[in-house]
Every structure is written in C-alpha cells, then in structure tokens.
Structure 1
Amino acid sequence: MNIDYSKVKKITINAPLKLDCGETLEKFDIAYETYGNLDETKSNAILVFHALSGDQFVTGTNNVTGREGWWNQVVGSGLPIDTDKYFVICANVLGGCMGSTGPKEINPKTNKPYGLDFPVITIKDMVSAQTHLLDFLGIKKTLSVLGGSMGGMQALQFCSLYPERTFSSVPIACAASHSAQNIAFNELARQAIMADPNWDSGNYFLSGKVPRNGLAVARMAGHISYLSEQGLQSRFGRKLQEGDGLNFSFDADFQVESYLKYQGYAFVDRFDANSYLYITRAMDYFDLYKLNNGDLSKAFKNTNVKFCIISFSTDWLYTTEESKKIVIALNSIGAQVSFVNIVTNNGHDSFLVNEPEFFQTLKGFLDSTYEDFKNENSR
C-alpha cells in the first residue's frame, strides 16, 4: 500500500520533552484527530488513547490508509461516545508511525530517519507528550480520559501524573503492569522482526526494503493473544480451507491459519516495524507498582478522578484479576470507582467488537459523568 502521510494533521511542539530514558527531544510532532465540537464551557472533551496497533483515526475513514476507524462502533453520532455531544480527541502516540515523532521520522541531527537512534520511550513519555496537545487545544481539564489495552495503561498513567486534568477515566482491558507472559509475547514479536534480513538493524528505510515477513509473524503472535480459546474454537475449530481433505503440505490447511496470515500481512501495509519494537517495549516497561514502591494505591493518592474500570471475562492477556487489583487500590484510598466485568467469548479484543453490554456501560458512565462535570463547572 502506498501511504501518503502528507494527509496527517499534526502540530510541532517547540519545547523540550525530557524522557524517562534520560534523553531529551528538543521538539516533537504530535499527529492527532478531533471529532465533534468543543462546547463553550470546554466541559465535553474526551481524550481517547489508542492501543498498540491503533492510531489517531478513531472513527470514520482513515484518510491516510483508506481503512475504517478502529472504534467505528463506539465513537460517532448517536453512539456510546456520541460526537453530537462530546468533543473527542485522539493523538498518535510518541514513537508511533502515523505522523507523531517516532523511529520512521527524520532525525534533525542527521536528516535521515531515526531508526534505532530514536530514544527508547515509556507510557509516561507518551502521556506527557499528549498534555501538550491539550494545551494547544486550550483544554485545561477533560471530561474523561479513556482507552483499551495500551490505551488503558495511558489512561491510568495520565490519572497518576495529572489527576487535576481530568474529571473521570475509563481504563478498559488493561493492567497496572505488564506480566511476564505479556513481556514474553512481546519479545517473541520483536525477535521475529529483528530476525528478518530486511530489518537491517533497523535501517531498512535507507535500503527501501521492508521486513514484511518478520512484522507479519509478530502481528500473528500478538493476534493470538487478543482472542480467547472459546472464541477461536467457536469461530474456526478445525475447519479446513477447502473440502474435507488435508493437503499434506505446509500451506494453510486450516481456516485459522489463513485468518492469521491475513491479519499479519494486512498489518504490514499500515504499520512500521521499528514502531512495533518501540511501542511494545514501552508497554513492557509500564509498571505503576514499581513507580510507587510496590503500593499501587500511592499512584492515585488524593485523586478526585471518577473511575470506571472495565474488564472482559475471557481476556487472558489482561485478566479480570488484574483489573480487580486496580479497583482494590482505588478503593483503599476512598476513590470513586465502579467496576464492570463483562462476560463474553471475545477475549481481549472485546472492546473492539460488537459487545452491547460494553457499549451500555461506557455510554451510561460517560453520560452521568458529563452531567456531574457540567454541574461542577456551573458553580
């Protein structure tokens, strides 16, 4: 796919950003999209954080790739996040590949793509960068910050760092730190990319080659973790691609094999391999427990943020137990928190598919919170 990145809307922040790794970006770009209109009191802004494979194009059509937005069932007119009512903001994360400063962008020191010269980033760095976007838009306090998976991690980190900048938060299908299993899956993905000869130590931009096979395998491995055993079994089972016979080869005999290959190679057309390395590493480094000497409650000490934590029963990547730990930590400091565990066979990807109970939960929380926030602003 020939992607025209000139269609990306972005701002340049001419202020230094000190990163967790110790390096500083003297200036950086943030690519973003907005949906709906900001009201006169600026009390209807919702900052949506995207997941690992997402971008700023939450809904409608991605005008860069031509694909549908990744949350078309959730964000839009009359939908749970109603753009007739709310002003929705979403930025491509620092280190991403849809216009924000990352490894595929030009390093001002060399006038060549950063590649692996780009500094290693964290979830904290991503969130800190996005506060500059809120400042640019003139928004001192959002109605809510929310997201699923890595988006949920960003929501938690935002509330820990900047509790005064949001009234509420909805962390979805996430955890306060990455488990050993999650780190292992990410390392498998990174090794698949780096084993591809076309990766060329991260310098493939210069050769014009793309580590397609490595990135596709990385995506396949990740995609398996997004689905549940029940979901895979009910959808594919042992169904064959053609008829009832085996080919006795290493081609895709089973439908599930064909599905994974499709998902893997479709991903290559829209995502950068180096960004995959950087973003998965940022997720691995995320650990609100460690940042607070093992006490998660300290991450949210004295917070006034209203939380709604949402998990899914068959999510084995970020389990319901991990969400409960967040709820317990918030309860221990008397924070306002509600918790919903939605029973489903759709696994981790439940927040991206048609889940009516999830839609109802999200809409109900945001609508009631909006009324509370408006009342607070009118005092």
Structure 2
Amino acid sequence: MINKKDIKTLIVKKPLTLDCGRVISDFPIAYETYGKLNERKDNAILIFHALTGDQFVTGKNPVTDKDGWWAYAVGSGKAINTDKYFLICANVIGGCMGSFGPSHIDPETKKAFGTKFPVITINDMVNAQVNLLDHFKINQLFSVIGGSMGGMQVLQFVSNFPDKAKTAIPIACTSSHSAQNIAFNELGRQSIMADSDWKEGNYQNQNLNPGKGLSVARMAAHITYLSKKGLENKFGRKLQERDDLKFGFDADFQIESYLRHQGSVFVDRFDANSYLYITRAMDYFDLPRKFGGNLSKAFEKTKTKFFIISFTSDWLYPTQENKDIVIALNSIGADVGFAEIESDKGHDSFLLDVPDFLNVLKNFVDKSYEELIR
C-alpha cells in the first residue's frame, strides 16, 4: 500500500506510555509539511486529520495520486495559506500511512502486529504527535486545527499542552463520543470482523484482505457524513443507467452505485485493522471524564484563543455538541468564538467547497495571526 520513499518519518526514541498501560518507543510518526517555517518560528500550524485521513493535506498525495484531503482549504492563497504559514500534519498512530500501526512488523514475532497492536486513544495520538514540535524546535504553535476526529485531537492537545498553541480551531467535532456514534462505529467493526478473510486480525500474515467487510464499513460510515437534504438533492430516487427497475439486487438506484463505489475505492487505500483501532479510539474519547465530568476543567490552564465551527446539516456531530464546548469555555472566561455554517452537505461540509466556511476560517486565521503574532 505504501511506497516508503514518499513518506517523511520521525523515529520517536522517547518512550510513550499509552493509556492502555503499554509502553512504546523507537516508533515511527509519518508526517508532511507545507510552506516555510519563518525565522521566529511563530507561523507554525499543526493540522490533525480525521478517521480516514492522513498526512497529505493538500497537493497530490504521492501514495494514492489523488488530491490531498483538505485541498479546498489549504494551499497557496487559500483559507490556510501555505505562502504565509508552515503546516505540519502527521498520520496518527494506529494509522496505515506510515505511522506506527497494526500493519507494522512486530520485532519479536517478525510478523505484522494485527490485533496484538496496543489499543490506542485520542490522547495517545496527540502525545505521539507533540514530538514533532521538538523535532522542528518549535516552542509554541500559532494554531492547532482539525475537523471531526481531528477536532477531538485539537481539544485534547490544548488540554494536555495548555501553553503550546496560541489559537485552536476544532471543527465539526465533540468532546465525547455519543452512543449513536459508538453504534455506527461498532457496525463498521463488526462488518470487518465478519469477513472470512479477517482471520482474527491476522490477514496480513496470510496475504489476505478483508476487503468486503471494510467496504461495507465505509459505506455505512459514509452515510453519516452526508445529510438527508444533500442526498435528496444529489440522488433522490434516480435510477443508475437504466430506464426502469430491474427487479434484482444490482444497483438500481444511483445512491446504491455511489455507496458501492465509495466502499470499493476505500479498500485500495486503507487498512482494515487500522479502521478497527481508530474507530475504537474515537469511541473511547470522553474528554470530561478525566475531570470528573466537567469539560470546563479540561481547559482551565490555557489562554489559547478558540474558534469553534459547526454545520447546520451535520447530524453526526450536531451543532449542540459543538455549542457545549463553547459553553464550557465561556464558563471559565476563555477567549472563544463560534460559527454555525449553513450547508446541506452534512458532516463532510468541512472537507468540501463551502464558501461561507472557507471565508470564516480564513478570516479567523489571518486576523488572529495579525493580532497575536505581528
């Protein structure tokens, strides 16, 4: 899946104790950078990716040959301007684009870890990625930014390292995974584990791939990234390359064909075990839990300036869950702004060409840099 020559990697020597109790060291963090770090090192932004993202934010992904996952927002002259800012994005641990994950070889067995890989959390992901700041000798970031699971990492980062970022932009996220979201993730995991080629997670060592299960997991998840109105506008009940129903189980409807395509192309770029591990990390995410259920206490020590963004049609991480974060920050007198963007594109709005979103993102980033740095 990966051509190693296309992957920048930092080997983290320092031991990291994971939330599960296991300790890892000498592990790889795959990353990519965009733009140039200035002499003062005050223009750095750490971007956190979502569930199926990776370190290739914009431009051509050298592994998949597709556009980076946030090409609409990041680039020369765009909302997050690579002519002005230095961006770092890492593949999360547990991932499958070069960072330490279940497809890596266990030095003891000389086989892929599979499900012997330690269960990881959002906290573990963040604690691994902070090593990149030491690597680039950056004392404080201008901003930490991320959507969906990336937004969870933003919240965790500021809580863990209250002095490490001047600004934070969590987008379309939550402070703890809901029962509904855990349920959808479990549906995906069960579809993978029900695939006869999964082999209790040992498929890589047998040259197999539980692609059917992973494809169904992707199809189910992809529905949650969309909205009812968006689906109606784009597909409705339109038939797929036929004039009438075929009275069979082929894809009669365009939406069926679309979902099947999303599932099949996903298998080509993602690892099934990584899907299990990362969705589990999302389900374990409950930031208030460590603070006696009080979210505001997670941010008591920070002076970071927040800007939280949600979307009207996002039912995966609805606006109220984003507002709950705003309320918690307001309760401790934090500097926090909020915007709810009108969009019919659902949760995926933050990844798409939604002008109102891109405009408010650009305005906050650029104005904050002028106010806080210049």
| TMscore range, shorter length | over 0.9
Does 2:127 align with 1:128? yes
CA distance in 2, matches of 1:216, 1:304: 43
| TM-score of the two chains, using structure 1 as the length reference | 0.97
What are the equivalent positions in structure 2 for 1:217-296 lying under 5 Å apart? Answer: 217-296=216-295
Q: Contact (CA 8 Å) 2:2, 2:97: kept in 1 or not?
A: no
Q: Distance in 2 between matches of 1:363 and 1:294?
A: 33
1:72-126 deviation digits (Å, cap 9, x = unpaired):
1111000000000000100000100000000001112222111111000000000
Q: Any idea what SS the aligned residue of 2:216 has?
A: helix
Pairing of 1:83-162 with structure 2 (within 5 A): 83-162=82-161
Extract unaligned runs of 5+ from structure 2. none
Distance 2:319 2:17 in 1: 34
Query: What residue is the counterpart of 1:191 in the other structure?
Result: 190
Instruction: Give the distance between the partners of 1:302 and 1:92, measured in 2 at CA.
Output: 28
For 1:110 and 1:208, the matched residues in 2 are separated by: 16
Gaps of 5+ in 1: none
Q: 1:23 maps to what in 2?
A: 22
Could you tell me how far apart the structure 1 residues matched to 2:205 and 2:105 are? Answer: 12
Q: Counterparts of 2:135 and 2:2 in 1: how far apart (Å)?
A: 27
User: Residue 36 of structure 1 corresponds to which residue in structure 2?
Assistant: 35
Cα distance in 1 for partners of 2:312, 2:100 equals: 36
Work out the CA distance in 1 between the residues paired with 2:254 and 2:344. 19
Contact 1:30–1:130 (Cα < 8 Å) also in 2: yes
Q: 1 CA distance for matches of 2:223 and 2:168?
A: 28
1:210-237 CA-to-partner distances (Å, cap 9, x unmatched) read: 1010000000000000000000011000
- Work out the CA distance in 1 between the residues paired with 2:108 and 2:127: 23
**Percent pairwise identity:** 61
Q: How many residues align structurally?
A: 374
Tell me the CA shift for residue 198 of structure 1: 0.5
Q: SS where residue 163 of structure 2 aligns?
A: helix
Secondary structure, counterpart of 1:307 in structure 2? strand
What CA deviation, in whole Å up to 9, does each residue of 1:148-193 have, x standing for no partner?
0000000000011001100000000000000000000000000000
Partner of residue 373, structure 2? 374
Shift of 1:3: 4.2
SS of 2:127's equivalent in the other structure is helix
Distance 2:53 2:131 in 1: 20
- Corresponding position of 2:302: 303
Counterpart of 1:308 in structure 2: which amino acid? Answer: F
Residue type of the alignment partner of 1:159:
V
3-state SS of the aligned residue for 1:289?
A: helix
Q: Which residue of 1 aligns with 2:359?
A: 360
C-alpha distance in 2, partners of 1:18/1:44? Answer: 30
Does structure 1 residue 209 correspond to structure 2 residue 211?
Answer: no
Q: Does 1:169 align with 2:168?
A: yes
Q: 1:67 Cα shift?
A: 1.2
Q: What is the distance in 1 between the residues matched to 2:96 and 2:134?
A: 23
What residue identity is the alignment partner of 2:4?
Y
Whether contact under 8 Å (1:44, 1:86) holds in the other structure is yes
TM-score (norm 2): 0.99
Letter in 2 for 1:74: A
